Amino acid sequence: MSTSVLFVCLGNICRSPLAEGALRAEAARTGLDLIVDSAGTGNWHAGEPPDLRAQAVARRNGVDISALRARQVRTADFRRFTHVIALDHDNLSILRKLAPHGATAELSLLLDHVEGREGQAVTDPWFGEEAGFETTWAEVTAAARTLARALQ
C-alpha cells in the first residue's frame, strides 16, 4: 500500500487545504510519491474551494490550491489512508470517535511532526486577521518538511 496522508481540520477550507498544498509541494520538490488529500470533520463547506485568504497565502508561496474542494471526512478514510493527521486537538478527538472498528490509519496531531511544537494545535485562522494565515502557512510548511523526510 502506498503512503497516503489525509489532513483534517473543521471546515476543510483553511488549515487542512493549506497542509495538503504544502505537503504536495514538498513531495513534488523531493520526488516523493505520496497520495495527499484533506477533509473536514464538519460539512458546512462541502464542495467549496479554499477560503480566498488561504488561496492567497499559498499562491504567495508558489502553491496553487484553488482547485481543491472541501469534503467531510468519512469512515472509509480510516482504511484508505495510511496517515490521518488532525490540525488541532478537537478534530483529533472527533477522529478518534469516528474511527471505525478495523481502522488502519495512524492518527496524529500535525504539530507532533514538528520538533519543539509537539502537542500544540494549528490555530484556526478563519475568525482572525489575514496575518493568521501566514502563521498557518509557516506551521504546515514546517510539518510538510519533516513529514516528507519521515515518509521517504
CB 115 to ligand 4NP: min, Å: 23
Q: Is 11 in the site for ligand 4NP (CB under 6 A)?
A: yes
| Residue 99 near residue 107 (C-beta atoms within 8 A) | yes
Kindly list the catalytic residues.
9, 15, 124
Instruction: Give the integer Cα–Cα distance in Å for 37 and 64.
Output: 14
The secondary structure of 64-80 as a DSSP string is --TT----B--TTHHHH
Residue located via cell numbers 471546515: 11
Q: Is 73 in the site for ligand 4NP (CB under 6 A)?
A: no
| Residue 130 near residue 53 (C-beta atoms within 8 A) | yes
Applying CB under 6 A, which part among 9-17, 24-32, 55-63, 109-117 lies near ligand 4NP?
9-17
Q: Is 57 in the site for ligand 4NP (CB under 6 A)?
A: no
5, 6, 7, 15: which one contacts ligand 4NP (CB under 6 A)? 15
Contacting positions for ligand 4NP (CB under 6 A) = 9-15, 44, 124, 126
